[in-house]
């Protein structure tokens, strides 16, 4: 995946603000502990839920049980937004990642992701992999990858800023 150039939106940025580098945004995505996933219900209403995710290979990865609301929503509409950041308006940096959630079913790739989950979140998040799913105790989970099409970054506190990164498509 090519590295996009950040474009500062002066309408939403303080004087003297600068566009952030994509490498900085990737570091934030890699280190973020909690994300909010936005999906769309079949009747068009939004659904938002917190979850953990792993940034790897140019995509955010998350998992969900096959019967959960988010999995059922994705079956009808794979377009999502994942958001992470801080709960303060005056400090920190927030990111929103827009893209399409694509199911990961290759057991070899899932084993790599399972190792990444455990390395990031600890042994409570240990998964076995079989038949295109994560397995944890009696349950199984679907795994999705979201390659960004557009990412918005919001610098909070002086200088306030809004940086946009886009990919083709």
Q: Which pLDDT tens digit goes with each residue over 128-167? A: 999 999 999 889 999 999 999 999 999 999 999 999 999 9
pLDDT score of 138: 85
If residue 116 lies in a helix (H) or strand (E), which one and from where to where?
helix 107-121
Residue 169 confidence (pLDDT) above 60: no
Environment class of residue 89 by beta-carbon count within 10 Å: exposed (0-12), middle (13-18) or buried (19+)? exposed
pLDDT score of 1: 56
Give me the residues paired with residue 145 across strands: 61, 102
Give me the residues paired with residue 134 across strands: 129, 141
- Give the Cα separation of 168 and 150 in Å (integer): 9
Architecture of 17-166 per CATH? Roll (2.30)
- By DSSP bridging, strand 133-136 and strand 128-130 are antiparallel
Residue 168 confidence (pLDDT) above 80: no
pLDDT digit string, tens, across residues 50-79:
999 999 999 999 999 999 999 999 999 999
pLDDT digit string, tens, across residues 87-118:
998 999 999 999 999 999 999 999 999 999 99
Domain positions in the chain are 17-166
- Give the Cα separation of 54 and 145 in Å (integer): 9
pLDDT digit string, tens, across residues 15-35:
999 999 999 999 999 999 999
Give the count of beta carbons closer than 10 Å to the beta carbon of residue 149: 15
Distances (CA, A) of 64 to 1, 51, 69, 105: 26, 9, 9, 13
pLDDT score of 145: 98
């Amino acid at each position: 995946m090519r590295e996009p150039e950040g474009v500062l939106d002066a309408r939403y940025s303080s004087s003297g603000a600068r566009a952030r580098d994509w490498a900085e945004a990737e570091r934030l995505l890699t280190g973020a502990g909690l994300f909010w996933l936005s999906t769309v219900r079949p009747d068009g209403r939004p659904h938002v839920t917190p979850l953990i995710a792993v940034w790897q290979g140019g995509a955010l990865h998350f998992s969900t049980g096959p019967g959960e609301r988010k999995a059922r929503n994705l079956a009808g509409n794979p377009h999502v937004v994942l958001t992470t950041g801080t709960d303060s308006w005056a400090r920190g940096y927030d990111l929103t990642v827009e893209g399409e959630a694509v199911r990961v079913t290759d057991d070899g790739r899932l084993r790599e992701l399972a190792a990444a989950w455990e390395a990031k979140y600890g042994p409570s998040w240990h998964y076995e992999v079989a038949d295109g799913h994560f397995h944890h105790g009696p349950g199984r989970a679907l795994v999705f990858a979201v390659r960004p099409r557009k990412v918005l970054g919001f610098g909070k506190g002086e200088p306030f800023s809004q940086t946009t990164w886009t990919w083709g498509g």
